[in-house]
Amino acid sequence: MNPSFSATTPSVATHDFARVLSPADDSARSFDLLAELARDLRPGVIFPICFDALLCVRQTLRAPEVTTPHLAGAARVDPLLCARLLRRANRGRRAAPVTGVRDALTALGVDRAQRVARAVSCGQIGCARQLSHVDELSRRLWLHTLRTAAGAFVLARRLTSLDPDEAMTAGLLHDIGAFYLLDRLARRPSAAFDAQDVNALILEWHESVGESLLQSLGVPEVLIDAMRDHEQPRARTGMPRSLSDLVFTASVLAGGASELYDDPVCHVSQRPAPTRERFAGLLPEIEQVYGVLRRGAMQG
């Protein structure tokens, strides 16, 4: 289990942060970092995903006529936009929660959904200008996210009775904590971390930070449950049955921690090669869906 990270109180061990950041960091500086991160976990939090995602959303919003299918394609390239649409669609809702992009857009309608997208996009533009030096890492995280979302969609559609759109949405949100951490760490004046430092910190904390972030954003609990502990090894490596199984398996198919963070220590259940061999028949379809997602064209 990852250490917990509270949206109201920095309850993690500050010495662990100090050890990851650099040997010279003291616990006071680490505590300040945790306190800053905790304070900023609020419903209106803004952070960029990566330049390619931002460009895709901006191009969609500049179209002469913005339709629901266009917005669906844009929402599926940006985890933060996806989460904010879900929050708005579930506001004041007494019926079953909205857990997929398609249903969120249906509930909101084009005008309201477009206003949400414009607000998120405008906020991200201001942030993204300061983060060009980490664009390579943010893009790598983004491509992994899209591959995971595509894998979850195909696995759900072919192997389970679960809603593929809900599965894709869960895959899209599973690493949102990594993008938030990368943004906050990279913009700190004292942040003189090399790629290995950043990778280690994100790998250690992105699950618990992401869980707190999604709770702050008001995302339905079923989607938070699906991403919880997705980097932790599983005893059973058979066919996926639950939404959590889908996210875990899809993330491993997309490379998992061993490829994304160059983590050499992983359980057999977390190794991409045997997982890809087991689901080899679905890989071409996953790659096709991934390509559609990446172009912002997943409009159904």
- Residue 35's pLDDT is 65
**What pTM was computed for the model?**
0.87
Tell which CATH classification among 1.10.10.10, 1.10.3210.10, 3.40.640.10, 3.40.50.720 matches the domain 14-294: 1.10.3210.10
Q: Which residue has the tokens 């409009």?
A: 299
Structure tokens at 153: 């969609």
Q: Crossing angle, helix 135-159 and helix 195-217, to 10 degrees?
A: 50
Residue 275 to residue 215: CA distance in whole angstroms: 30
- Residue 15's pLDDT is 35
Q: Which residue has the tokens 């004046």?
A: 189
**By the 8 A CB rule, do 179 and 278 touch?**
no
- Render the burial of 149-167: b for 16+ CB within 10 Å, e for the rest: bbbbbbbbbebbebbbbbb
> Which residues, 6 or more positions from 249, have their beta carbon under 8 angstroms from its beta carbon?
151, 155, 240, 275, 279
Enumerate residue ranges in the chain where pLDDT < 50: 1, 7-26
Residue 171 to residue 227: CA distance in whole angstroms: 8
Helix boundaries (H) for 62-132 = 68-75, 79-90, 101-128
- Residue 21's pLDDT is 42
Where are the chain's structural domains?
14-294
76 phi and psi angles, rounded to 5 deg: -85, 5
- Residue 128's pLDDT is 74
Residue 185 to residue 30: CA distance in whole angstroms: 12
